[in-house]
Structure 1
Amino acid sequence: MNDPILQLSREQAKKLSELGDRLHQFRQSQRLSLEQVAEQTMIPVRILSAIETGNVAQLPEPVYVQGFIRRFADAIGLDGADFANAFPTETHLEPSKTSWRGTVQAQLRPLHLYLLYMVLVMGAVSGLSYLLNRTTPQMVGLTGGPQSSQSSLTRGSNPSNLPVNRAQMGPFLPANQTVQPNPSPVAPQKPVRVGLMLTAQSWIRVVVDGKPEFEGVLPEGTQRTWMADKEVTLRAGNAGGVMVSFNDGMAKPLGEAGAVEEVTFDLKAQASLSLNSEDDASDSSPLTASNSNAF
């Protein structure tokens, strides 16, 4: 297969066919053979024949073909310059219009669709398997057999913590017995517990066992609780808007409105709580750093 750069364009091939036919007719009128012209021009006979017949497959680059035409025409008595100038040397290659179906993208497209289909199927299967794995243990707990179901229901247990419908339980549950769900686990209580309820917006800083736990502005209506093993230090920018309760005791304001107060709640305050419990019932004075033992 010839290099496309060396091939003649359609325009050049058409022009070569016209010029070659004129050279052929004029040569025969002069009774000259191709061998005679070849001896005079030093051009091989096959090249001269290819020029006359317009056989582009046997010809070199256009610039050489133009030179051969000039020498051919001069040898048989024609104006070689006019013939040579009539043959264009610039090659205008016309890119072939390749069908989209023959491109690599078109060939790969079915493979891409197949891979996408496989990914979607695998994703659907994985999701269904995950849902089944999560649902099966609960169903086994509820339908583990007549004997296990009856014994667990008669004892009043509800292992799945699901709401019990007596109409659905049927004969497995006696009429005079109710099923109570298991209580939810309770977070372990620590010795020091401080609860806040804001009646007005205030800046708050909380340090639990020596480590800062919170610092920022809390809006009105916020309720928060902090627990510690040793102590909780509370500092407020608007002490009058912060109601504080210590170890589930009665809530009291941390201080005066607009005042900055800081109070530390620890095990010592817990010891004084039992001694001052009677006073707390009637004392609603604001809590300050000097009277934190009021809790």
Structure 2
Amino acid sequence: MGPEGGLLRSHPDQGRGAGRLGAAGDRAGQLGGEKRVMTAILELRKLSVTFGSVPAVQELDLSVPEGRIMTIIGPNGAGKTTVLNLISGLVRPTGGSVVFRGEDVTGFSPHHLSRKGIGRSFQQNNVFFSLSVRENVRLAAQAHGRDNWKFYRRARSFPIYEEAAGQALGKVNLVEEADQPASSLSQGGLRRLELAILLATSPVLLLMDEPLAGVADGDVPFLTDIIRRLRKEGQTIIWVEHKMDQVLALSDEILVMDHGQAVALGPPAVIAGDERVQMAYLGRN
């Protein structure tokens, strides 16, 4: 693909460049010849944040259609995790806005955004290792429900949360391990447990930061199958991931970032076919 037609390019006018990327997001429903109107569940409008004098994210415009998988890739320090932090409220933007389901939620707290339906996982395991697999998930459902202030009541007092935990564990294939301590799980099992914890809160949008990191090769298919099933059920997912084989296989669209800027956006076939993306991110000559 030539310089004028390539996706990977710098933008002298980042505002206009980002606008082009947003327009590309609006065309996500036309992948593979499929033409349908896609409703944006999330819109980032010139979203920016600066840490000290360093711009971490620069005027990012992005539209994420409902029920799709959007993957963010790029080198270390590109701003990928920061974008997830901005969406989930862990970091307050210095400019721009976050619009979720038509509502401007810029600056909302992580707890408030969780209540709105945004679920977030992290690179590091975030579970109670001394509790059972089931207890971890049940407590997440309970903390998200009306009885969160009764955190230490006996499980049988809250059958609705037990049911939510059971359903979430079923979705990640951890039913047989439900009564085992979380500490007994492999890294792949812990990643599935984290996902079950999120699903127990009934999120509308899932944000996942490198869910395959540290997972043994043999466990990767279990996780990717779960992600694929969630996509078929209509779950919207934005994830950061470095395993490019899985990124290309699972994504509806891929956002490429570098130095806090969006430099490419498109379906996997287009991103994989761009020579500069290949050299910079896919390791191909």
What is the TM-score when the length of structure 1 is the normalising length?
0.17
Whose radius of gyration is greater, 1 or 2? 1
- Structure scoring higher RCO (CA < 8 A, sep ≥ 6) equals 2
Q: Which has the higher strand share?
A: 2
